[in-house]
Chains A and B, each alone.
Chain A
Amino acid sequence: MTQALSIQNLSKRFGSFAALDDVSFDVERGSLFGLLGPNGAGKTTLFSIASGFLLATSGHAEVLGIDIRNVSALRGRFSILPQDADFQSGIQVIDQLTMFGRLAGKSKEEAQRNAMFELERVGLEDVARVNAQSLSHGMAKRVALAQAFLGDPEVIILDEPTAGLDPDNARKIRELVRSMKGDKTVLLSSHNLQEIQDLCDTVVIIDKGKVRFDADMSTITQSDNLSRISLFGKLPDSVCETVNSLGVVSKVETDLRDQETHLNVHFSFGESDTKETAMRSVLETLLSGGVVPRKIVEGASLEQRFLEVTDGQFDGASST
């Protein structure tokens, strides 16, 4: 079965600046795929090439097994919510969506019906006859989401769909994406870790134009052999060594950030050990060394992976 999206050795240069450098990955059909990266990592450039807006300097992008430069062959099967794209002013929302539907091969009546259906799905049927320019930013994003799902495409790219939205509107968009997805393949880019972790089942982390990480979300977040313990202040070396010497611990990693130590404890269970007894040993060691844990998280988080692969240069997380 062909992939929903296949990116092979893709590079894009703007003058001497390499926005993308030999990027390769595949996205399986039916998945909700997250493209994560800090600002300027190359997410929009990558999706812009995958959508045919930009030409790659080298490499290859295929949607549903079809070269993206051959848009006609993908008519109606693929769509995108572009980042920061404005609708035409002076044309009513319903007329714009109807035109998009007709360009995707539908008759005028069918395109009109589809447009109204999608507007109802995003809760904006009341703005159908409104000039698109007079919509608020949040409403415009929802209309853009409606246009992306117009005509039942198989593959949908959502380029930073919640960027610039307040928390309430961002939440609405996330709920809509979840409810509208169905069996479609949805590719979503964001610099919001929580958003990607909540929505997506696979993720690629990109930074400085290179793929740094590519995995299923479950393999990242579900790990019985790992606990993350946050501590107030710096962890004394002696306590760290004692934890490391415990029989149930195979490795300890520490990371001091913002007056807080993040301790990644990798366990190595024997036959008689359980996660509970192992954790008890670790916590007793910490407390006897005068160290008070602030938070314990089971398994790894996307944030941890992200910080690992982007050298801790994450500045774009938001709570929206």
Chain B
Amino acid sequence: MSESGQVTRPDGLLTGVRPRDLTIIASTWLRFAFRSGGGVLSLFMVMVIGLMIVNVSVSQMERVGRFMAGKDASQADVVKKISESNVVRNVVEIVLDGTDDEVKAQSNYLMKEKPAMLSIALLILLYLVPFGVSSAAFNQTAGDIGSRGLRFLLSRTERPNIFLGRFLSAFLFIAGAFALLLLIVTSYLHFKLGIYSAGVLYGWAFRGIIAFTFYSMPYVALAAWVSCLMDKPFAAMAMTYLASVGSTLVLFIIGAILSTAGAEQAWLSRLMPWGWRYDMFHNELDTQLLAYAAMVGFTVLFLFLGLASFRKRDL
């Protein structure tokens, strides 16, 4: 019992965690994600929207590149024109949003040292992550709290196993979905453009998959936290969008206000994983590692908050 008299659960947040139980719950839920239809639908949405965005972007850039390179130019010349184009580079630098020298070095790294078209696709697809994760991971526990389905598990395993097992299955599912999307996009670019060597292109895609895996992780954890506070899937979905996408918008608006007032605002975006996303594709290793560490840090923070809530709430 606590000093206030309220009965509490004993020991630490991770008391009772068993790898075997985690594996059982995560694997069952992973299968459930595919069988129930909801997971497949989310996967399908991520694929379709992602491929549409990439297709539209690449087609438009190809059109611009062909206009600059001339009607009879080879595909290699078209892509070369795109990666050397000041307009495209300016757009990339605006997107990266940093100090001049740093941004120029990073855009140079992305557009010249790495396959430019895939770099552009990766930067665009990063926008999809908070939306995609919110759509696929909002119902980790909320629905089963409402339907009391969790009660069949609660007499058999400790709460952290349920919370972390569900998180793991959602994370693996989403990481797999993004990996599949990037592989399809990379293959599309490989066969459509035919100018990058497979090794270079798929090597860069592999880096992209790692970055997307790490970037989706804190958003899955955020969804896990929000989901365990709710007992209705629709409420969980709305609140997950609000927490992941809405909070970023709020920080953006506050940043704009501070910027207008002449105050320092760059740190604001760093309060969410969103603000660290491009650093995973930075030309300097230190910056990359810091970004990955930030993703892990956000994940740990959101999981900590979620576990604390899930352990003490009535189920």
Q: Which residues of A contact B (CB under 8 A)?
A: 48, 51-60, 67, 69-72, 74-76, 78-80, 82-91, 95-96, 99-100, 102-104, 147
Contact = CB atoms under 8 A, between A and B. Distances in A.
A100 to B, nearest CB: 6
B308 to A, nearest CB: 14
Q: Is the interface of B mostly helix, strand, loop or mixed?
A: loop
A104 B156 contact: yes
B231 to A, nearest CB: 13
Q: Is the interface of A mostly helix, strand, loop or mixed?
A: loop
B6 A58 contact: yes
A82 B5 CA distance: 27
Contacts, number: 97
Contacts of B28: 91, 95, 99
Contacts of B148: 82-86
Contacts of B156: 71, 75-76, 79, 100, 103-104
Contact of A58 (B5, B9, B24, B37): B5
Contact of B147 (A67, A85, A102): A85
19 contacts: A48-B314, A51-B154, A53-B154, A53-B314, A56-B7, A58-B1, A58-B7, A71-B156, A72-B158, A75-B156, A87-B152, A90-B32, A91-B31, A91-B35, A95-B28, A99-B24, A99-B25, A100-B156, A102-B24
B12 interface: no
A95 B29 CA distance: 11
Interface of B: 1, 5-10, 16, 18, 21, 24-25, 28, 31-32, 35-37, 144, 147-149, 151-158, 312, 314-315
Contact of B32 (A67, A69, A88, A102): A88
A84 B151 CA distance: 10
Given A59-B7, A86-B148, A52 B154 contact: yes
B155 A71 contact: yes
A86 B16 contact: no
Nearest to A101: B156
A85 B315 CA distance: 11
B158 A100 contact: no
Contacts of B10: 67, 69-70
A55 B149 contact: no
